[in-house]
Structure 1
Amino acid sequence: MSDVRRFYESLAEGARRSAPAALRNREPIAEVLQDWLPQSGLVLEIASGTGEHAAFFAERFPALEWQPSDVHPDALESTAAWREAAGMPNLRVPLVVDAASPDWPIDRAEAMLSINMVHISRWASALGLLDGAERLLAPGAPLILYGPWLEDDVETAPSNAAFDTDLKRRDPAWGLRRVEDFAAAAEERGLAMEALRPMPANNLMLLLRRT
């Protein structure tokens, strides 16, 4: 795993890594999750990154089983370390999940969540995320995403435009995606866009449901 992939992280303690953005956005995200997540069941988090969100949300939502995952070895190690430190019984051992692959080591979830993945992954990973939601989610179950997005007929914030440029400099396959493109691809896979909520720092949360 290259240092470029984790350009937003720093060491925390031992194997644990820390993303400053995770500390800033976890409370606003949790407030929306309170409305959008089911009351019980298993939440599969795709691309858990440092694992800080998983540990925080497992504590915040004790009635839910939280299943973190990632494809990067250092992210899995960090998530495992945060899990050990948190000591939450509803926080599972992280799984190796490559969103772009059709082979996931899990076959069901009551909800799926992905935070800040789509813009730092190839488009194939975004489509793979939707494919996985089609396979795993029952009708009515939510797929929830958080991050910076572009929207048709909505002026892009200068900070997001600059971020998009920087991402593409790091990897031409990265970059902010259009909500409309993602929603169209989701519809082809039996997922309907239900809600879009503005978040701090020019981010959005998207709620899609399996039809």
Structure 2
Amino acid sequence: MPDALFSPAAARNAAFIAEVLKRVLPPIGLVLEIASGSGEHAVHFARALPELVWQPSDPDEAARRSIVAHTRAAGLANIRSPLTIDATRQPWPVARSDAVVAINMIHIAPWDATIGLMAGAEETLAEGGVLYLYGPFREDDAHTAPSNAAFDDSLRARNASWGIRDVEAVVAAARGHDLHLDEHVVMPANNLSLIFRRGRRSPAVDREAAS
């Protein structure tokens, strides 16, 4: 597969992420993945959740070629051809999806990409639709592990507009686009899964707001 790219991180975390997705995604429907990268996640999740249709996307041409290569090698019928989507540019070329997934995206992009992700998800998702985020995050204005702090330093050295984001800032940005945090799941290797739902606040969030 000359066009295929390979990500060690995707190989390590795909099975753990899939277990969360099996629980929080709808049983059938269309899942739009933003910043699909190599396409290894798309293949893994499409195989693990065969009743869902996976729509990968990436703004990078090399990544899209890799997605095609991995999809062809896997021989799965529930993965669509990758789209060119820049999260910061609206509207997205998908009118409606049942879920939006973004894995290891927002820390390797300017903050505008997070805002664009929330705006695009608001327009794409129906009431109750899921936005799933995975990656390293800061909590309570601090890193959750020394390794994350070192990773954050390396990101900012590469690009001053990148960096590990504060959960609180991400939740606030989501809320501004009618996306409400439903679950916060601790994952291996000091990562988190954040599950938002459009237009539907969870009872736990309502209790916290009232306290």
TM-score, with length taken from structure 2: 0.92
AA aligned to 2:71 is: R
Tell me the distance in 1 between the aligned counterparts of 2:124 and 2:143.
35
Q: What is residue 61 of structure 2 aligned with on the other side?
A: 73
Structure 2: which 5+ residue stretches go unaligned? 200-211
- The aligned runs of 1:101-120 (5 Å cut-off) are 101-120=89-108
Tell me the distance in 2 between the aligned counterparts of 1:152 and 1:118.
18
Out of 114, 123, 135, which is 1:126 matched to? 114
Q: What is residue 152 of structure 1 aligned with on the other side?
A: 140
Tell me the distance in 2 between the aligned counterparts of 1:198 and 1:30.
14
Q: What is residue 169 of structure 2 aligned with on the other side?
A: 181
Pair 1:143 & 2:131 matched: yes
Structure 1: which 5+ residue stretches go unaligned? 1-12
Q: What is residue 34 of structure 2 aligned with on the other side?
A: 46
SS in 2 for 1:110: strand
Per-residue deviation, 1:129 = 0.4
Contact 2:143 2:149 in 1 (8 A): no
Q: What is residue 71 of structure 2 aligned with on the other side?
A: 83
Per-residue deviation, 1:155 = 5.1
Tell me the distance in 2 between the aligned counterparts of 1:36 and 1:121.
26
Runs (4+) of structure 1 exceeding 4 A deviation are none
Contact 2:68 2:81 in 1 (8 A): yes
Out of 169, 188, 197, which is 2:157 matched to? 169
Number of equivalent positions? 199
Q: Deviations over 1:126-158 (max 9, x none)?
A: 110000110000010100010000011665300
AA aligned to 1:100 is: T
Per-residue deviation, 1:104 = 1.4
Q: What is residue 44 of structure 2 aligned with on the other side?
A: 56
Q: Deviations over 1:130-187 (max 9, x none)?
A: 0011000001010001000001166530000000000000000000000100100111
Q: Deviations over 1:22-79 (max 9, x none)?
A: 0000000001111111000000000000000001111110000000000001001100
SS in 1 for 2:183: strand
Tell me the distance in 2 between the aligned counterparts of 1:166 and 1:92.
34
Tell me the distance in 2 between the aligned counterparts of 1:140 and 1:114.
17
AA aligned to 2:197 is: R
AA aligned to 2:105 is: M
Tell me the distance in 2 between the aligned counterparts of 1:190 and 1:135.
10
AA aligned to 2:159 is: D
Out of 15, 20, 35, which is 2:8 matched to? 20
**RMSD of aligned alpha carbons:** 0.9
